[in-house]
Amino acid sequence: MKITWLGHSAFRIETGPSIILIDPFLNGNPSFSGQDIKEVTRGVTHVLLTHGHGDHVGDAAQIAHETGATVVANADLASWLGRHHKVDRIEPGNTGGTIATGNFSVTFVNALHSSASITQDGVSHSLGNANGLVLHFPDDPSVFAMGDTDIFSDMALINELHKPEIGLVPIGDRFTMGGAVAALACRRYFSFAKVLPCHYGTFPIIDQSADAFVEAMEEDARIVETPKPGGMVMIR
């Protein structure tokens, strides 16, 4: 398995016949600058969305149109993408549900966050629940993309039910939990073999580095990978 951090909360996962993009905020993402969008989206089979904010939906519709990829998203967000962006290859789900697609499955779990789109009239329209996504593969470690969230005690249930091995964890503060709290979540509720922090360094108003997270992970800092945007981590 190869996991590439594309900046902010965008990831590319290559495993078996599947090439997955999670929260593909590419155009307009300062952290994505200098990367080749055509190369990043080449061969994509699935686009997974944790929630409806623009810095996570990003280029999902365009990528789906250009590649034929299947979009997996909360039912309300999926409906919006279908109606307003003419995305027709969609797998809708909701909290607690599991979708089998390609050679893997996706389970929608809780996240403490909002999910909405602001229209031209300035009104915020709900796009359903914000979710974390747990991905299970037949021959590779399971992955938990937390999306945007704060810590919550039911993370213990997510670990009990799904036993995720790889964590994609937001740490940037202000809009998500900060580094120290994210480290507490990882250490108290999960037994990750590897953690890739995200949702930092993109904009001036969120934390610019993973330093606080790495420090708070203490002896577990050995499991943290902090590639630069565009950097790839091999998972064995």
What is the DSSP-derived secondary structure letter of residue 27? Answer: T
Full domain range(s) for residue 79: 2-234
Bridge partners, 131 (sequence order): 110
* C-alpha distances out from residue 143 to 70, 108, 113, 132, Å: 19, 12, 20, 10
Alpha-carbon distance 175 to 54, whole Å? 13
Alpha-carbon distance 31 to 95, whole Å? 30
Alpha-carbon distance 191 to 220, whole Å? 10
**Per-residue model confidence (pLDDT) at position 120:** 79
Along the 236 residues of the chain, how does pLDDT read in single tens digits?
999 999 999 999 999 999 999 999 999 999 999 999 999 999 999 999 999 999 999 999 999 999 999 999 999 999 999 999 999 999 999 999 999 999 999 999 999 999 999 887 889 999 999 999 999 999 999 999 999 999 999 999 999 999 999 999 999 999 999 999 999 999 999 999 999 999 999 999 999 999 999 999 999 999 999 999 999 999 98
Helix 179-189 and helix 155-162, axial crossing angle in degrees, nearest 10: 40
Looking at the structure of the chain, the number of domains it has is: 1
Angle at 82 between CA 96 and CA 23, to 5 degrees: 60
Q: Which two tokens stand for residue 218?
A: 């203490």
E strand segments, the chain: 2-7, 10-15, 18-22, 46-48, 70-74, 90-93, 98-101, 104-110, 116-118, 124-126, 131-136, 143-145, 166-170, 194-198, 232-234
**Per-residue model confidence (pLDDT) at position 119:** 82
| Cβ 37 vs Cβ 71: under 8 Å | no
Which residue intervals of 60-178 are DSSP H helices? 60-67, 75-85, 155-162
**Per-residue model confidence (pLDDT) at position 236:** 86
* C-alpha distances out from residue 170 to 124, 148, 198, 202, 236, Å: 23, 6, 5, 12, 23
CATH code of the domain in which 210 resides:
3.60.15.10
Going by C-alpha positions, the residue among 45, 122, 111, 25 that lies closest to residue 74 is 111
**Per-residue model confidence (pLDDT) at position 29:** 98
